[in-house]
Structure 1
Amino acid sequence: MALITFASRLRRTNCQLFLPFILTSTTHPLPPHPPTSQHTQHYFTLAFHQTILVPFHSLRNSPHFSTLQASHNQSLCEPVDFVEYKPKTHQQNQSGVHELVQLLKKAKGFVSEEEAIAFLDDSRVELNTDLIQSTIWEVRDEWKLAFLVFKWGEKWGCNVEKTWGLVIWVLGNHKKFNIAWCLIRDLHRSSSMDTRAAMLIMIDSYAAANDPGKAIQTFQIMEKFRITPDLKAFYALLNTLCKHGNIEEAEEFMFLNKKLFPLEIEGFSIILNGWCNICLDVFEAKRVWREMSNCCITPNATSYTHMISCFSKVGNLFDSLRLYDEMKKRGWVPGLEVYNSLIFVLTHENCLTEALNILDKLKEAGLLPDSATYNSMIHPLCEAKKLEEARTILASMVGENVSPTIETYHAFLNGASLEETLEVLSRMRKAGLGPNKDTFLLIFSKNFELEQPENALKIWAEMKQYEVMPDCAHYTSLVEGLAMCGLLTKARELYAEMRSSGILDNPKLQMLLKEPVRGSNNERESEGQPSVVRCNKRGTQVCLGKSSSIRRKNRGKQSRNKQAGIT
């Protein structure tokens, strides 16, 4: 109650005098041309002479295709690395954090903020900056508690600049942007702290909330907070947009502002990373590569690394090796990521001997293979059901003192029988690498794809032994898989169990349980004959990105038989 009251009061503060002009509501998109009214120009004049305003409606309607592949290491750092608070929470401050979290849950019920903070004061907990930050991280999924402990820390002067950034990050994750902007205003008024990190966090939050227009506008009004939107901030914006799948928007903004921020290889590398590693699209990656040549931009080691990674992921061995040779001829030294990409595509294309030769070559170059290097062989081998070769590589991996990762074990689960699956789970627990929630989702998907619902149910029974509590994703996977196999009675039982555990209704599952799946009926259920399951393999699904639905339609009108090469 106290937090709700305070949040309501925040919305009535003076921030409303400038916030509506800082970020236009999504229900009122910006006009296609710069506004002419004096009122709007008053708030955006400084932004206009730094960057060209991108019309919000054009950004919102700019789609792109995505397969949501895992991103490789970024060349640019995140605005603030908040994950560092996790080990603090679980180690040095664990007892104090747990005690404070319990107090916060009790204080949440007070009517006013003053009463809640007075209650916390009476607890006589010794506050310090580390405790405040660790507690905010611990309750990051409950923004009201995070905000309350922040306000308490502010009263006693325990909040430093990074504490402000952390709570703004939490608020942004929960889309509480008005409150976050009020904090940025207060931070701006403080002469001792900088708002730069907070602004970059807001850019990231808007991009994560699928609102690239507001992310860009936040960059454009940085000068209002005495921050110059320099080249580093510009690249951070591009990187953030690409990281969250808004790659077309990032590329459009980069070209629109080329007079203020000249086109350089760093910007193109960020866009390439988006198409090559975040939303895998080899056609777009080729197009950007050609555009680099048209703009007289010479590729560097980073751009070569991204393109080789892209070609390797789609199984294009020829172009992977061609770019590798071209990279060396131009004087760039391949890094470990390049060698890992080559090892993967060679193994994937049934050239294990050549992949092992590349492994020897990278060692000769003075590089040390890591878990990703060996996983680049183990994954395609397991996918091809070549388990003996995969076990040989695993033995070599351990022999080189390279520890297997959870991804290593997940690869072996891909082609494992029920007994082998249980053995892998046991090994994972002994190695201290799970199994985790994703492990069981992977197993369920595999079993339903192989039309083995009985094995999925056996693994479901094993989950509790590994202290993995089922969540909505597990129930959804099981209920949907069982229904697709025609086992509607068992699917309904699990759905009822899901609802009794407090998980909300799923309309899609409800419809699935009401009507028999095409090609299945209740008779099949009694006969124990599951229907054919059509599931995508985990990790190889074709997914549409945040603004990608339209371009696929547009591409349908264009012939793609003409596959352009790279110049």
Structure 2
Amino acid sequence: MMWGGFRRRFTKTILSVKLRAADVNPKSVNPIQFQFQCANSIAALNLTPCSATGIVTSPLRSPLFAISLSSFSSLINENQIAASFKSYDQSEVDDNTEASEDDCSDDGLDVKFGQDIAIVLKILQEPGRRIFKVRNRLEQCSITASYELVVEVLSRVRNDWEAAFTFFLWAAKQPDYAHSLRAYHSMISILAKMRKFDTAWSLINEMRRTRSGESLVTPQTLLIMIRRYCAAHEIGKAISTFYAHKLFKFDMGMEEFHSLLSALCRYKNVKDAEHMLFCNENSFPFNTKSFNIILNGWCNILGNPREAKRIWREMDERGIVRDAISYSSILSCFSKANKLNEVLKLFNQMKALDIAPDRKVYNAVIHALAKGRLVKDAHNLLITMEENGIAPNAVTYNSLIKPICRAHQLDEAREVFSEMLQRGLSPTVRTYHAFFRILRSAQEVFALLQNMKKMGCCPNNDTYIMLIRKFCRWRQLDNVHRLWGEMSQMSQNGGPDRSSYIALIYGLFLNGELEEAHKYYKEMKAKQYLPEPKLDEMLQSWALGKQITNRQMIDSRDNQLELSHLDNKSRVTSTKFDKQSVSY
């Protein structure tokens, strides 16, 4: 009955996982079959140090850890996000490496510290650099490595894994310095983001054998790897890393299970997360938080109201108590889907059940009302929210500003923005993005960008990607290059990332700047960013066409030279014949 709806959707999909893990009940896996063997041997996963080398190998290398994923596995291709020029890719949030979006300057840094950072960045970001030269220059720079310096530099070069890793290795060799846990986590995240998983595991192995003799590996270390595998849609390896908690002698309880579900959902593997939830009922009993994670995945990560309703009904059928977080997720989903009646119905239902709305619930309803052109009602609800002891925050005002901007009511949006400032709330990047989307001239764009920086809100790569696309649509390539240069100098953002290159290359290509697009594509590949299939196809077709055209031009020129030569020869012969005729 309750299980029937779920089984009908997924009866054809099977996940077969062979894992060596402890304390997992095979009965919990029906209908998805997890086959576990050897419940207590760490050596079975080849995680014990090798007798010859003393090195621990990756828990994903064992043939006994084979994971077979069938058609149920997430089919979302990250390249599809950037495949359309009109799409807007939210950049991934790095683990322990993201700079604050509100920190737009180095004013808070010590002068000497800031100078050291500038020197290191100049070495690492030198155009046309070679790694061995970078190493030599670092050795000669006479800068003292410190915990703060290493973490800050890694944050600044997080989109260039080679530069980051070269600096990380240099720092490790400096006297009186040993990498901190945060430095290791930053570097592991950078490597795993670029899918250098083997190198990341080698660092985890190094963390187990520090100079002090104590292991630095924590559950957070494994969670970083789990998140990066989920981001790369390597679901089997993410699950394997989750079960490696036992092998590192960490607890593998409900909190760790929730972290796995959250990581899967965060990177759009919601189907996989749902299967993990239902097939592990005996090991990890159902509760409200588990279902809220899945519900939020369907609601706010994939934005699928139909699937959200299915999970909502499933919670009711299984007797799972819904809380304010459950309601905030589904209200947010219906709000984004323009289902105002559904939003108001659920909001009233929530109050009837004596579930006190939290800030997220109010934000979702305010957004739905503003989107439905009921701005006055939305503002009244904001006042009611405050009367109920919940102070509006920047997100609350963004919930008002974004739909008003989309309706091109710029004056009303400015009024709400002014009220936000009067309350002492600092605008966020998303606040400015709402205004950027409706601006219609370069002068307005750059004026707002300047104002954004003055307010202490640092534009991130998403800001520049949005504006580059806007100027490409307007065919203002000078402004595109201006923004690209500015973004390259913004070390707080780590420099241009893969999504930035893709946006720029598409824009140049669509504006007929094929040579320049190809130049930036080669630069992107030189930085070892993951290839983008459609770009490959487009630029390879262009390069092939260019080769054919060049060959045809060379052949044509050769033919013209040959014809010219024959014509000259014919003229000489004709002149000679004429002279002979005259003599006769």
Which residue pairs with 2:215 in the alignment?
193
Q: Please give the alpha-carbon distance, in whole angstroms, between the structure 1 residues aligned to 2:42 and 2:422.
A: 66
Which residue pairs with 2:157 in the alignment?
139
Which residue pairs with 2:381 in the alignment?
358
Matched, 1:293 2:312: no
Which residue pairs with 1:98 in the alignment?
118
Q: Please give the alpha-carbon distance, in whole angstroms, between the structure 2 residues aligned to 1:123 and 1:458.
A: 37
Per-residue displacement from partner, 1:469-526 (whole Å, max 9, x unpaired)? 896345335335xx4xxxxxxx33x3323444664694454489799xxxxxxxxxxx
| Distance verdict in 2 for CA 1:274–1:406, change over 3 Å | same
| Distance verdict in 2 for CA 1:39–1:207, change over 3 Å | same
Structure 2 residue identity aligned to 1:81: N
Matched, 1:415 2:416: no
Matched, 1:34 2:35: yes
Matched, 1:322 2:360: no
Contact persistence 1:264–1:297 (CA under 8 A): yes
| Distance verdict in 2 for CA 1:35–1:228, change over 3 Å | closer
Contact persistence 1:472–1:498 (CA under 8 A): no
Structure 2 residue identity aligned to 1:495: L
Q: Alpha-carbon deviation of 1:167?
A: 2.1
| Distance verdict in 2 for CA 1:120–1:242, change over 3 Å | same
Which residue pairs with 1:181 in the alignment?
201
Which residue pairs with 1:556 in the alignment?
none
Contact persistence 1:435–1:466 (CA under 8 A): no
Which residue pairs with 1:479 in the alignment?
508
Stretches of structure 1 lacking an aligned partner (at least 5 in a row): 1-19, 24-30, 48-52, 73-77, 484-490, 516-567
Q: Please give the alpha-carbon distance, in whole angstroms, between the structure 2 residues aligned to 1:128 and 1:341.
A: 44
Which residue pairs with 1:382 in the alignment?
405
Q: Please give the alpha-carbon distance, in whole angstroms, between the structure 1 residues aligned to 2:257 and 2:157.
A: 32
Contact persistence 2:265–2:273 (CA under 8 A): yes
Q: Please give the alpha-carbon distance, in whole angstroms, between the structure 2 residues aligned to 1:351 and 1:149.
A: 54
| Distance verdict in 2 for CA 1:422–1:146, change over 3 Å | closer
| Distance verdict in 2 for CA 1:89–1:169, change over 3 Å | farther
- Bigger mean CA deviation after superposition, 220-229 or 146-155: 146-155
Structure 2 residue identity aligned to 1:137: S
1:61 is matched with which residue: 73, 93, 104? 73
Q: Please give the alpha-carbon distance, in whole angstroms, between the structure 2 residues aligned to 1:465 and 1:123.
A: 27
Structure 2 residue identity aligned to 1:125: I
Which residue pairs with 1:260 in the alignment?
283
Matched, 1:442 2:463: no
- 3-state SS of 1:396 partner: helix
- Bigger mean CA deviation after superposition, 174-183 or 145-154: 145-154
Q: Alpha-carbon deviation of 1:242?
A: 0.9
Identity rate, percent? 28
Contact persistence 1:347–1:377 (CA under 8 A): yes
Q: Please give the alpha-carbon distance, in whole angstroms, between the structure 1 residues aligned to 2:460 and 2:278.
A: 43
Q: Alpha-carbon deviation of 1:199?
A: 1.4
| Distance verdict in 2 for CA 1:121–1:510, change over 3 Å | closer
Structure 1 residue identity aligned to 2:118: H
Contact persistence 1:251–1:271 (CA under 8 A): yes
Per-residue displacement from partner, 1:242-261 (whole Å, max 9, x unpaired)? 11111111111111111111
Q: Alpha-carbon deviation of 1:460?
A: 4.0
Contact persistence 2:226–2:241 (CA under 8 A): yes
- Bigger mean CA deviation after superposition, 223-232 or 124-133: 124-133
Contact persistence 1:89–1:135 (CA under 8 A): no
Matched, 1:158 2:178: yes
Per-residue displacement from partner, 1:33-78 (whole Å, max 9, x unpaired)? 637799999626999xxxxx99532377344799989999xxxxx9
Matched, 1:394 2:398: no
Contact persistence 1:346–1:355 (CA under 8 A): yes
- Bigger mean CA deviation after superposition, 248-257 or 100-109: 100-109
Q: Please give the alpha-carbon distance, in whole angstroms, between the structure 2 residues aligned to 1:95 and 1:331.
A: 57
Q: Alpha-carbon deviation of 1:290?
A: 1.2
| Distance verdict in 2 for CA 1:348–1:38, change over 3 Å | closer
Q: Alpha-carbon deviation of 1:287?
A: 1.0
TM-score by length of 2: 0.67
Which residue pairs with 1:522 in the alignment?
none
Q: Alpha-carbon deviation of 1:173?
A: 1.6
Contact persistence 2:208–2:215 (CA under 8 A): yes
Q: Alpha-carbon deviation of 1:298?
A: 0.5
Q: Alpha-carbon deviation of 1:441?
A: 4.4
- 3-state SS of 1:310 partner: helix
Which residue pairs with 2:516 in the alignment?
497
| Distance verdict in 2 for CA 1:341–1:437, change over 3 Å | same
Q: Alpha-carbon deviation of 1:360?
A: 1.0
Contact persistence 2:229–2:237 (CA under 8 A): yes
Q: Please give the alpha-carbon distance, in whole angstroms, between the structure 2 residues aligned to 1:34 and 1:457.
A: 57
| Distance verdict in 2 for CA 1:261–1:39, change over 3 Å | closer
Q: Please give the alpha-carbon distance, in whole angstroms, between the structure 1 residues aligned to 2:120 and 2:271.
A: 44
Q: Please give the alpha-carbon distance, in whole angstroms, between the structure 1 residues aligned to 2:485 and 2:33.
A: 59
Structure 2 residue identity aligned to 1:475: L
- 3-state SS of 1:56 partner: strand
Which residue pairs with 1:236 in the alignment?
259
Structure 2 residue identity aligned to 1:83: E
Matched, 1:250 2:273: yes
| Distance verdict in 2 for CA 1:304–1:380, change over 3 Å | same
Q: Please give the alpha-carbon distance, in whole angstroms, between the structure 2 residues aligned to 1:271 and 1:240.
A: 11
Q: Please give the alpha-carbon distance, in whole angstroms, between the structure 1 residues aligned to 2:421 and 2:77.
A: 39
Matched, 1:81 2:103: no
Q: Alpha-carbon deviation of 1:237?
A: 0.9
Contact persistence 1:304–1:323 (CA under 8 A): yes
Which residue pairs with 2:44 in the alignment?
43
Structure 1 residue identity aligned to 2:198: N
Q: Alpha-carbon deviation of 1:124?
A: 4.4
Q: Please give the alpha-carbon distance, in whole angstroms, between the structure 1 residues aligned to 2:391 and 2:141.
A: 52
Which residue pairs with 1:126 in the alignment?
144
| Distance verdict in 2 for CA 1:214–1:347, change over 3 Å | same
Which residue pairs with 2:192 in the alignment?
172
Contact persistence 1:242–1:270 (CA under 8 A): yes
Higher Rg of the two aligned structures: 2
- 3-state SS of 1:34 partner: strand
| Higher relative contact order, chain-length normalized (CA < 8 Å, sep 6+) | 1
| Distance verdict in 2 for CA 1:291–1:226, change over 3 Å | same
Q: Alpha-carbon deviation of 1:363?
A: 1.4
- Bigger mean CA deviation after superposition, 83-92 or 171-180: 83-92
Q: Alpha-carbon deviation of 1:158?
A: 1.8
Q: Alpha-carbon deviation of 1:329?
A: 2.8
Contact persistence 1:436–1:468 (CA under 8 A): no
Q: Alpha-carbon deviation of 1:180?
A: 2.0
| Distance verdict in 2 for CA 1:421–1:303, change over 3 Å | same
Structure 1 residue identity aligned to 2:504: Y
Structure 2 residue identity aligned to 1:43: A
Q: Alpha-carbon deviation of 1:358?
A: 0.4
Q: Please give the alpha-carbon distance, in whole angstroms, between the structure 2 residues aligned to 1:242 and 1:180.
A: 23
Structure 1 residue identity aligned to 2:466: L
Contact persistence 1:343–1:377 (CA under 8 A): yes
Structure 2 residue identity aligned to 1:96: D
Structure 2 residue identity aligned to 1:192: E
Q: Please give the alpha-carbon distance, in whole angstroms, between the structure 1 residues aligned to 2:519 and 2:368.
A: 47
Per-residue displacement from partner, 1:444-484 (whole Å, max 9, x unpaired)? 65678xxx745x4575477489777896345335335xx4x
